[in-house]
């Protein structure tokens, strides 16, 4: 992470970006077969305890506070992801949120989300979270179809989702459901059943992610051995189109390629901040952080940079216990990198991006993408690059054409 500032200085007024905090909780009860995330089942943690994790995360916050001293921005969003954050009890999660308050402060109306496994919450734990400042919970529902959940090696009982959603709503939390499509063996009607089940629970927000089978996962190995068969891209496209159709009909509007919300107020602001290249600090093993171009404590210009922490919880806590930064690697970002990332990220949003923000003008490419039906023609005439439904499915191709 950036070196702590030698003396606090009021340099923050120049930064207009929002600031968010991501807290990575690297624990799961079991590791799912498709999971490529930095998470550890109890047998894999190698001596790192949950209690130890909480104090390490708080230590990293203290370190972050000294680095960002003088920045002055309070966190406008906080997101607990994993892993399974609810493997920590509500008190532990609350103490981490208190750490954020102490370090940066929480902005008024801040969005505070935690991911949760429907099996690892109770009415009480959700109420505790709400009362300690959490505003939002995102349940990993993934599917409503038993054989799909079995392939994903998800352990939760499908009926627990409805109960969890009920409790969360009682506690006054905004609710999101995460779905996965394109699981080996999942048919279009399986996916339709999952969509219908999710919609019937009336969450405020739904995410639908295509399953990506990474080579290093158990599922990757099964694929290589021919034990499972990947869902082809055409079927995945059908599934995405079905999701858009069902969700739109039920009143959910897409705001990012994989995300839909009932009202603009229910959009996940933390998520959108990533796509808009806002600043965030990632706390926890393997977490990524990003600070855009800014002015340092003594008035010097600092270029944008991204860094990420060591992955293993044990290494992470050892570093912090020794008073060292848990950073594994960092990457300074050039203006060209930022321009490229900006197109790559913003094009995915329903708000689109101004044509003038492209790194270089590409009128012919824009026209071609309109002609091919990837970009909305009206929006383009009005100066905005906006993906059509077809374009959302081919977003990466559009980005390649425009950068």
Partner 1 sequence: MTDTRIEPAATAPELIRNFCIIAHIDHGKSTLADRMLQLTGVVEARQMKAQYLDRMDIERERGITIKSQAVRMPWQVEGAPYALNMIDTPGHVDFSYEVSRSLAACEGAILLVDAAQGIEAQTLANLYLAMENDLTIIPVLNKIDLPSAEPERYAAELAQLIGCEVDDVLRVSGKTGEGVDALLDRVVRDIPAPVGDADAPTRAMIFDSVYDTYRGVVTYVRVVDGSLKPRERITMMSTLASHDLLEIGVISPEPKPSKGLGVGEVGYLITGVKDVRQSKVGDTVTLAGRRAQQSLGGYRDPRPMVYSGLFPVDGSDFPVLRDALDKLQLNDASLVFEPESSVALGFGFRCGYLGLLHLEIVRDRLEREFGLDLISTAPNVVYEVEMEDRKVYTVTNPSEFPSGKISEVREPVVAASILVPSEFIGTVMELCQERRGIMGTMNYLSETRVEMHYTLPLAEVVFDFFDQLKSRTRGYGSLDYEPAGEQAADLVKVDILLQGEQVDAFSAIVHKDKAYAYGVMMVGKLKNLIDRQQFEIPVQAAIGARIIARETIRAIRKDVLAKCYGGDISRKRKLLEKQKAGKKRMKNIGSVEVPPEAFIAALSTADDGSDKGKKK
Site residues (CB under 8 A) for partner 1? 22, 24, 36-38, 81, 209-212, 233-234, 236-237, 240, 257-258, 274, 280, 282, 286-290, 306, 308, 331, 337, 340-341, 344-345, 372, 374, 390, 392-397, 399-400, 403
Distance CA 102, CA 96 (A): 10
Nearer to partner 1, 89 or 331 (CB): 331
Nearer to partner 1, 207 or 325 (CB): 207
CB 144 → partner 1: shortest distance, Å?
19
CB 117 → partner 1: shortest distance, Å?
17
Crossing angle for the helix pair 395-402 and 363-371, nearest 10 degrees? 160
CB 180 → partner 1: shortest distance, Å?
9
CB 397 → partner 1: shortest distance, Å?
5
The full length of the chain comes to 403
402 C-beta neighbours (distance < 10 Å), count: 22
Cβ(23)–Cβ(96) under 8 Å?
Answer: yes
Burial class (CB in 10 A: 0-12, 13-18, 19+), 226: exposed
Q: Determine if the peptide bond prior to 83 is cis (ω within 30°).
A: yes
Distance CA 88, CA 345 (A): 32
CB 81 → partner 1: shortest distance, Å?
7
Q: Which among 129, 76, 109 is positioned nearest to 272, based on CA atoms? A: 76
Distance CA 294, CA 297 (A): 10
CB 372 → partner 1: shortest distance, Å?
5
Nearer to partner 1, 154 or 392 (CB): 392
CB 128 → partner 1: shortest distance, Å?
26
The secondary element (H helix, E strand) that includes residue 385 is: strand 384-385
DSSP secondary structure code for residue 59 in this structure = H
- Using the structure block, give the residue that is written with the tokens 């807290």: 23
153 C-beta neighbours (distance < 10 Å), count: 14
């Amino acid at each position: 992470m950036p070196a702590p500032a030698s003396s606090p200085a009021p340099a923050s007024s120049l930064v207009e970006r929002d600031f968010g905090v991501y807290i990575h909780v690297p624990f799961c009860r079991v590791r799912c077969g498709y999971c490529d995330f930095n998470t550890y089942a109890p047998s894999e943690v190698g001596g790192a305890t949950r209690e130890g994790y909480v104090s390490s995360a708080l230590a990293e916050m203290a370190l972050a506070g000294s680095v960002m001293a003088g920045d002055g921005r309070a966190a406008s969003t906080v997101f607990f992801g994993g892993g399974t954050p609810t493997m920590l009890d509500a008190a532990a999660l609350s103490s981490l949120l208190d750490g954020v308050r102490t370090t940066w402060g929480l902005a008024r109306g801040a969005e505070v989300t935690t991911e949760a496994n429907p099996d690892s919450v109770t009415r009480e734990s959700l109420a505790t979270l709400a009362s300690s400042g959490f505003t939002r919970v995102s349940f990993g529902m993934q599917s409503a179809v038993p054989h799909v959940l079995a392939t994903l090696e998800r352990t939760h009982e499908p009926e627990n989702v409805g109960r969890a959603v009920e409790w969360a709503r009682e506690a006054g939390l905004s609710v999101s459901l995460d779905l996965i499509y394109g699981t080996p063996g999942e048919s279009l009607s399986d996916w339709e059943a999952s969509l219908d089940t999710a919609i019937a629970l009336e969450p405020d927000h739904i995410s639908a992610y295509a399953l990506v089978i990474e080579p290093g996962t158990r599922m990757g190995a099964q694929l290589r051995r021919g034990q499972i068969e990947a869902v082809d891209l055409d079927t995945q496209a059908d599934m995405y189109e079905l999701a858009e159709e069902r969700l739109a009909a039920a009143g959910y509007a897409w705001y990012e390629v994989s995300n839909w919300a009932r009202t603009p107020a229910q959009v996940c602001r933390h998520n959108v901040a990533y796509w808009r290249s806002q600043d965030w600090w990632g706390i926890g093993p393997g977490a990524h952080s990003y600070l855009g171009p800014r002015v340092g404590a003594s008035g010097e210009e600092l270029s944008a940079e991204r860094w990420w922490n060591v992955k293993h919880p044990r290494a992470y806590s050892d570093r912090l216990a020794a008073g060292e930064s848990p950073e594994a690697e960092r990457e300074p970002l050039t203006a060209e990198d930022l321009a490229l990332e900006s197109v790559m990220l913003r094009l995915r949003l329903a708000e689109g991006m101004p044509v003038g923000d492209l790194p270089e003008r590409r009128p012919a490419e824009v026209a071609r993408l309109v002609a091919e039906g990837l970009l909305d023609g009206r929006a383009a005439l009005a100066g905005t690059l906006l993906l059509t439904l077809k374009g959302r499915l081919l977003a990466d191709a559009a980005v390649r054409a425009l950068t």
